[in-house]
Amino acid sequence: MANLQASIRREVEELFPEIERHYRYLHRHPELSYREENTSRYVVEFLETEGIPYRKNIGGYGILASIRGEKPDNGKTIAFVADMDALPVHEKNDLPFKSQTEGVMHACGHDSHTASLMGAAKLINRHRADFGGRVLLVFQPGEEKSPGGADLMLKDGLFDECRPDFIVKQHAYIDLPAGKVAFQTGTVMASADEVHIVVRGQGGHGALPHELNDTVLAASNIVVAMQQIVSRRRNPFNPMTLSFGKFIADGATNVIPDEVTLAGSLRCMNEAERRKMLLLIPQIARSTAEAYGCTCDVDLPDGYPCTVSDEEITERVREMAADFLGEACVSEYPARMTAEDFGFYTQLYPCCFYRFGVSPEGKTTGKLHSSTFLIDEEALKTAAGLFAYIGIEANGNYGFRQPTGTTYTPSCR
Residues with catalytic roles: 85, 143
Q: Cα dist. 60→27, 30, 31, 158, 277 in Å?
A: 21, 17, 13, 11, 31
Q: Cβ contacts of residue 266 below 8 Å, gap of 6+?
A: 191, 192, 193, 194, 195, 240, 241, 242, 274, 277, 278, 281, 303
Between CA 337 and CA 315 the distance in angstroms is: 22
b/e map 49-77, b = 16+ CB within 10 Å = eeebebeeebbbbbbbbbbebeeeeebbb
Q: Using alpha carbons, select from 375, 335, 378 the residue that is nearest to residue 109.
A: 375
What Å distances lie between residue 150 and 84, 192, 205, 211, 303, CA to CA? 12, 14, 49, 51, 12
48 C-beta neighbours (distance < 10 Å), count: 11
Answer yes or no: are the C-beta atoms of 358 and 173 closer than 8 Å: yes
Run of H or E including 193: strand 191-200
Whether omega before 403 lies within 30 degrees of 0, making that bond cis, reads no
C-alpha–C-alpha distance, residues 363 and 24, integer Å: 21
Q: Give the Cα separation of 80 and 36 in Å (integer).
A: 19
Helix, strand or coil for residue 298? strand
CA distances from 379 to 109, 178, 280, 308, 346 (A): 11, 5, 44, 24, 25
**What percentage of the chain's residues is helix, strand, coil (to nearest 5)?**
35, 25, 40
Number of helices (H) and strands (E), helices first, in the chain? 9, 16
